[in-house]
Structure 1
Amino acid sequence: MQPTPTAYAELQQAYDHFNAVLFRGQLPDCLITLQREKRTFGYFSSTRFVNRDGLQTDEIAMNPSYFGVRPVRVTLSTLVHEMVHAWQFHFGKPSRAGYHNLEWAEKMEQVGLMPSNTGKAGGKRVGQQMTHYIIEGGPYDRACADLLTAEFTLSWLDRFPPCSVEQFALGGGEDDDGDEVQIDLLVFPGPGEVNRSNRVKYRCPSCAVQVWGKPNLAILCGDPGCEGSAFEPA
Structure 2
Amino acid sequence: MLAPTTDTYENLLFIYNYFNKNLFDEKLPHCLITLQRQPNSSGYLCTNRFINNKGETVAELAVNPECIPLVPLISTLSVIVHEQVHLWQHHFGKPSRNGYHNKEWAAKMQEIGLMPSHDGNVGGKRTGQNMSDYPIIGGKFMSLSEKLVELRPHLIKWYDMTAMQSETIANNDMITKQDTPNLQTIPYQSKDSTKSTNKKNTRSKFVCQKCGDALWGKSSLKVLCINCNTQYEIIG
Partner of 2:159: 157
CA distances 1:18-77 after superposition (whole Å, capped 9, x unpaired): 000000111001000000112211000001000111110011000010111211111101
Identical-residue share of aligned pairs (%): 39
Q: Check conservation: 1:116, 1:126, Cα contact below 8 A.
A: yes
- 1:106 maps to a residue whose letter is A
TM-score normalised by L of structure 1: 0.75
Superposed, which structure 2 residues align to 1:1-234 within 5 Å?
A: 1-152=2-153, 153-161=155-163, 163-165=167-169, 174-177=191-194, 182=199, 194-196=212-214, 214-216=226-228
Distance in 1 (CA, whole Å) between partners of 2:205 and 2:162 is 11
- 2:87 maps to a residue whose letter is A
- SS for the counterpart of 1:149 is helix
Distance 1:29 1:52, change over 3 A: same
Q: Check conservation: 2:75, 2:191, Cα contact below 8 A.
A: no
Structure 1, unmatched stretches of 5+, are 198-212, 218-234
TM-score normalised by L of structure 2: 0.75
- 2:61 maps to a residue whose letter is I
- 2:85 maps to a residue whose letter is V
Partner of 2:180: none
Judge which range, 174-183 or 83-92, deviates more. 174-183
- 2:11 maps to a residue whose letter is E
Quote the RMSD (CA, aligned, Å): 2.9
- 2:51 maps to a residue whose letter is V
Q: Check conservation: 2:131, 2:194, Cα contact below 8 A.
A: no
Rg larger for = 1
Distance 1:73 1:134, change over 3 A: same
Q: Check conservation: 2:45, 2:87, Cα contact below 8 A.
A: yes
Distance 1:53 1:141, change over 3 A: same
Distance in 1 (CA, whole Å) between partners of 2:198 and 2:157 is 27
Judge which range, 125-134 or 142-151, deviates more. 142-151
CA distances 1:86-115 after superposition (whole Å, capped 9, x unpaired): 000000000001110000000000110000
Distance 1:105 1:182, change over 3 A: farther
- SS for the counterpart of 1:31 is strand
Distance in 1 (CA, whole Å) between partners of 2:201 and 2:127 is 19
Distance 1:186 1:151, change over 3 A: farther
